[in-house]
Amino acid sequence: MTRAERTGAVDALRSVRHEPGAPRLVALRVASQFGDGMFQAALGGAILFDPQRGGDPAAIAAGFAVLLLPYSLIGPFAARILDRVDRATVLARAGIVKSLLILCATGQLVAGASTTAVLITALAVVGVSRFVLAGLSASLPHVVPVRSLVATNAALVTVGAVVSAAGASVAVLVLGLVGPSDRATALATAVSAVGAVAATLLARGFASGRLGPGTASVSAPTSRVLADWVSGFVAVRRTPSVAAALVGVGAHRVAFGIDTLVMVLVLREGARSSVLPSGVAGFGLTVGAAAAGMFLAALATPVLLPRLGRTRTVVGALVLATLTQATLVVGLVPDLLILAAFLLGFAGQTVKLTADAAMQTDIDDDTRGRVFGVQDTVFNVAFVGAVAGAALVIGPGSTAVDTSAAIVCVVTGAVAYAAAAAIALRIGVRTSRPTTPEAPSPRPHD
């Protein structure tokens, strides 16, 4: 990479202020993800820890499947819009839709609607949120110079994650004060709509074509939809830097799904330490620890990438995650789970930032939206599949932790990390073999 790319996230954020459109895109991301964090934490806290709504592992897995899988199936199709229609217009309209859906969910909670009805509305909200994030990532190269893209993306993605955690913390505070109930959840979800409204107003401030795509068209033949979906996977397969990073993203989501289910069951039993409380408060502290790890990743990734290259950065993060999963998580000790959340947050975000950098620099603009859609599919399918698998092993109808079964699941997560590290290393070695050894360059295909 160039010398400018090695200056780190601080210089990147400073330069963003002087790039036309960049401050507005940053504000849009902050507003959107703060609301997302608050909405998802409010619903999650009530559904997972409210005695009247809380379910067994099978119900938890079903809830995540309802929330995440449908968009995973249509996401690559929806991402086609990002590559064919003015992205600023798409983001503005998506914000309006999300605001209305959040208010609908709030009304359902006030009316005491069933968990299934609330989850179906939440499904739509989460789907729109993932679509907006894909659009923001695909738009970033249009407001930030290529020389600063890696560091700026690292800063912005992680700032978004930290802001999302801040929104989640506000929701957890409300639930902690009022108690996990429909009334508290309705209050938190209603406030979260402010983020969607603010994001809509910010998106409307972009001129037409400012965020791409490079060649926009209002429509395309319906027969092209499947071809566009497949083209996203083909682009990943043909770009080793992206393929290696997405393998790591998938492995992280597998382990994260397992750990999420185990954590919920552990906290339901009551904290066995003086540090981590039980229930939604303990879950909030764990989310905060993971967010702190993500923030550290934002500072470290721009420094690691030019010195280590993408392959070594991804493999190193996955090795750290393997060791964390096999030592800190496997004991199911609440205090150690906080430290594990921090380290896994750092490792997972490092892999995610590397994947984003590869997609933004190594994928053409006309295909980038579809490739980010592929990442969303990997992101969600891996998580839901892991939660479902862990629920089957632990016991679909269990309400307590089966220690031996939980340990088997956690070890499976460690194996997933280790396998992904081996695959990423193999891809990197095979790609670099015909050329000179890895060295920093503007577009390292390692």
Closest alpha carbon to 203 in 139, 155, 130: 139
Question: In whole angstroms, what is the distance from residue 210 CA to residue 433 CA?
Answer: 40
In this prediction, residue 104 carries a pLDDT of 93
**Kindly report the CA angle at 4 between 244 and 344, in degrees rounded to 5?**
40
Residues in the chain: 446
In this prediction, residue 438 carries a pLDDT of 42
Q: Where are the domains of the chain?
A: 3-207+225-432
Question: In whole angstroms, what is the distance from residue 212 CA to residue 84 CA?
Answer: 9
Residue 168 per-residue DSSP state: H
For the domain with range 3-207+225-432, which CATH number is right: 1.20.1250.20, 3.40.50.2000, 3.40.50.261, 3.60.20.30?
1.20.1250.20
In this prediction, residue 18 carries a pLDDT of 66
pLDDT by residue for the chain (446 residues), tens digit each?
334 333 444 555 566 666 778 889 889 999 999 999 899 888 876 666 665 655 667 767 777 776 677 666 666 566 667 777 888 999 999 999 999 999 999 999 888 887 778 878 888 888 888 888 888 888 888 888 777 776 777 777 767 877 888 888 888 787 777 766 778 788 889 999 999 999 999 999 998 888 888 654 444 554 565 676 677 788 888 888 888 889 999 999 999 999 988 888 887 776 555 566 767 677 778 878 888 898 888 888 888 888 988 889 999 999 999 999 999 999 888 889 889 999 999 999 999 989 888 887 888 777 777 787 778 778 888 998 898 899 889 876 666 677 888 899 999 999 999 999 999 999 887 776 544 334 344 444 44
Please, is 217 exposed, middle or buried when counting C-beta atoms within 10 Å of its C-beta (0-12, 13-18, 19+)? exposed
Q: Dihedral of the CA atoms 30, 31, 33, 35 (nearest 10)?
A: 150
- CA distances 55 to 48, 59, 119, 277, 374, Å, are 7, 5, 13, 20, 31
Question: In whole angstroms, what is the distance from residue 12 CA to residue 4 CA?
Answer: 9
